[in-house]
């Protein structure tokens, strides 16, 4: 079968690919510890499940408006007022099947062939593939582990050309767990203001998984509202990955464009899940707080355990539930009769020898690193780190 050029431009997601490999090995009876998929290991809070059950019982089981049910849009508007003191109208809001679809909608709507999307490294695996699918060009900005993966603002400004349509990043960041400071976001806003043809897509899906102080949203800065799309969702902060609800807030014209696109592709997101998401966004934050406190404890544990493994260097990330350690000191070395030359080799060796699945850093644009998701129990993390240590010493 000949597939389209557009399909051939993209690769399979390595986060999903590594999780699939781990599942296959488990199905063969192997005792694999999966630290590859970015998914909270907590259950969805009971009050959110109850809202979904109420929605089913009330017959909320029909097609929904393409851009989302009014009750969820209104919960999102209230959230923006409550958390960022920002007035947002329902016509600025669009609900989709996960934040993933929001980002894809936005890119397909505003990025044309050969137009450029600036993406600071390291970046979430799907960004580059979405841009490739749309026919756009990624312009990557390098960052350094030693600088806490901070965005090089001079390089960012230098990269803006008349072909630039979008600057795309996540904060807290998947895969590095780093968060942009108030000052850095202010500087990004100042740069963007000078280039009215550029739109920022700020992916804030890890907003709540923040270990040091409050999340700062770029929406809090003045003068760039017309150039801003904020993407968020309930997958991470409310342990709702399978419910598939994400949303974006942005200029009315972009929301209308995404509405047109989604209306032809998938229609409104799942009706029952939208009622559940409204409850999550409006409701009690205690379950989220508990989850974040637990993640903080696991982060500290895994940073400590990892620091005992020679050749692996890690920082202490401020958010999300990932570590993105540098492992390149081990490249060129031989383990169990094979030489590890890159992050793919490293993850393959660790998966086959230690039965621990990780994601190669190359998926996120930085081959010197690997990503470890610590959304697993302390017991599993201890066992996984012990196995990795044994495989590397
Ligand atoms: N953005 C980032 C940075 C992510 O890590 C994820 C996780 N899948 C998503 C977007 C998409 O989230 P979802 O589609 O589950 O809402
Ligand atoms: N965002 C998660 C991850 O990075 C889920 C998998 C995916 O959608 O890529 O692992």
Note whether 123 and 365 are within 8 A (CB). Answer: yes
Q: For residue 244, how far is its CA from the centre of ligand 2 (angstroms)?
A: 12
Q: How far is the CA of 153 from the centre of ligand 2 (A)?
A: 27
Which residue CA neighbors atom 3 of ligand 2 most closely? 38
Phi first, then psi: give them for residue 205, nearest 5 degrees: -65, -25
Q: What is the pLDDT of residue 168?
A: 98
pLDDT value of residue 222? 87
pLDDT of residue 15: 87
Average pLDDT over residues 128-143: 97
Mean pLDDT score of the chain: 96
Q: Give the Å distance between the CA of 390 and the centre of ligand 1.
A: 33
Q: Which secondary structure element, helix H or strand E, spans residue 139, and what is its range?
A: strand 137-141
Residues carrying CATH 3.90.1150.10, the chain: 5-43+287-391
For the stretch 318-368, pLDDT in tens is 999 999 999 999 999 999 899 999 999 999 999 999 999 999 999 999 999
Report the pLDDT value the prediction gives residue 372, as an integer from 0 to 100: 97
Least confidently predicted of 7-16, 254-263, 279-288: 7-16
15 within ligand 2 shell (Cβ under 6 A): yes
Percentage of residues in the chain having pLDDT higher than 70 = 100
Ligand 2 contact via 122 beta carbon (within 6 Å): no
Nearest residue (by CA) to ligand 2, atom 10, is 38
Confidence of residue 70 (pLDDT cuts 50, 70, 90): very high
**pLDDT for position 19:** 87
Q: Using the mean position of ligand 1's atoms as its centre, give its distance from the Cα of residue 299 in Å.
A: 20
Instruction: Work out the pLDDT band at 281, boundaries 50, 70, 90.
Output: very high
Dist. CA 32–CA 40, nearest whole Å: 18
Q: Can you read off the two tokens belonging to residue 259?
A: 């509405």
Residue (of 324, 320, 83, 318) closest to 211 by Cα position:
318
CA of 134 to the centre of ligand 1 (A): 19
Query: What pLDDT does residue 33 have?
Result: 96
171 within ligand 2 shell (Cβ under 6 A): no
- Closest atom of ligand 2 to 175 CA is 4
Mean pLDDT of 171-200: 96
Residues in the chain: 393
> How, if at all, do strands 33-34 and 137-141 pair?
unpaired
H/E element, 254: helix 252-265
Is residue 388 in contact with ligand 1, taking CB distance under 6 Å? no
Mean of pLDDT values over 85-94:
96
Predicted local distance difference test score (pLDDT) of residue 46: 97
CATH 3.40.640.10 in the chain is located at 48-282
**C-alpha to C-alpha distance for 131 and 138, rounded to whole angstroms:** 7
Lowest mean pLDDT among 82-86, 298-302, 368-372: 82-86
Instruction: Indicate whether 308 pLDDT > 90.
Output: yes
What confidence tier does 82 reach under pLDDT thresholds 50, 70, 90? Answer: very high
69 lines ligand 2 (CB under 6 A): no
E strand segments, the chain: 33-34, 93-96, 116-120, 137-141, 164-170, 199-203, 228-233, 246-249, 322-323, 334-335, 338-339, 356-357, 359-360, 370-373
Report the share of the chain in percent with pLDDT over 90.
Answer: 93
Whose CA is closest to 219, among 93, 68, 100?
93
Contacts of 304 by beta carbon, 8 Å cutoff, 6+ apart: none
Residue 238: the pLDDT is: 98
Alpha carbons 287 and 238: distance in angstroms, whole number: 8
User: For the domain 5-43+287-391, what is the CATH code?
Assistant: 3.90.1150.10
Is residue 233 within 6 Å of ligand 1 at its C-beta?
yes
CATH class for the region spanning 48-282:
alpha beta
With a 6 Å cutoff on the Cβ, whether 287 touches ligand 1 is: no
């Amino acid at each position: 079968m000949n597939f389209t050029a557009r399909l051939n431009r993209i690769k399979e997601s390595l986060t999903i690919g590594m999780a699939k490999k781990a599942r296959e090995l488990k199905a063969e009876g192997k005792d694999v510890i999966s630290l590859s998929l970015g998914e909270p290991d907590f259950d969805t809070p009971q009050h959110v499940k109850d809202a979904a059950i109420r929605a089913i019982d009330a017959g909320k089981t029909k097609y929904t408006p393409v851009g989302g049910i009014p009750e969820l849009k209104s919960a999102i508007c209230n959230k923006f007022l409550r958390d960022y003191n920002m007035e947002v109208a329902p016509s600025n809001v669009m609900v989709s099947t996960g934040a993933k679809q929001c980002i894809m909608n936005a890119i397909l709507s505003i990025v044309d062939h050969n137009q450029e999307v600036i993406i600071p490294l390291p970046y979430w695996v799907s960004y580059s593939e979405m841009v490739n699918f749309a026919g756009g060009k990624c312009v990557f900005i390098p960052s350094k582990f030693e600088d806490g993966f901070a965005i090089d603002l001079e390089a960012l400004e230098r990269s803006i050309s008349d072909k630039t349509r979008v600057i795309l990043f996540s904060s807290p960041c998947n895969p590095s767990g780093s968060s942009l400071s108030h000052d850095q976001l202010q500087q990004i806003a100042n740069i963007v203001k000078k280039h009215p043809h550029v739109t920022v897509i700020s992916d804030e899906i890890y907003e709540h998984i923040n270990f040091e102080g409050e999340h700062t949203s770029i929406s809090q800065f003045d003068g760039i509202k017309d150039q801003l799309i904020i993407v968020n969702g309930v997958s991470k902060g409310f342990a709702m990955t399978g419910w598939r609800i994400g949303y974006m807030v942005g200029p009315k014209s972009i929301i209308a464009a995404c509405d047109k696109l989604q209306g032809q592709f998938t229609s409104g997101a799942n009706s029952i899940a939208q009622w559940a998401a409204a409850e999550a966004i409006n409701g009690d934050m205690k379950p989220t707080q508990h989850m974040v406190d637990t993640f903080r404890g696991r982060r500290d544990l895994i940073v400590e355990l990892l620091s005992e493994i020679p050749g692996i260097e890690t920082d202490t990330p401020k958010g999300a539930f990932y570590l993105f350690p540098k492992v390149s000191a081990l490249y060129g070395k031989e383990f169990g009769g094979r030489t590890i030359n890159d992050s793919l080799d490293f993850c393959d060796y660790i998966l086959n020898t230690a039965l621990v699945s990780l994601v190669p850093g190359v998926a996120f644009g930085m081959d010197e690193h690997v990503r470890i998701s610590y959304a697993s129990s302390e017991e599993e993390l201890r066992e996984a780190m012990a196995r990795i240590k044994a495989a590397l010493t």
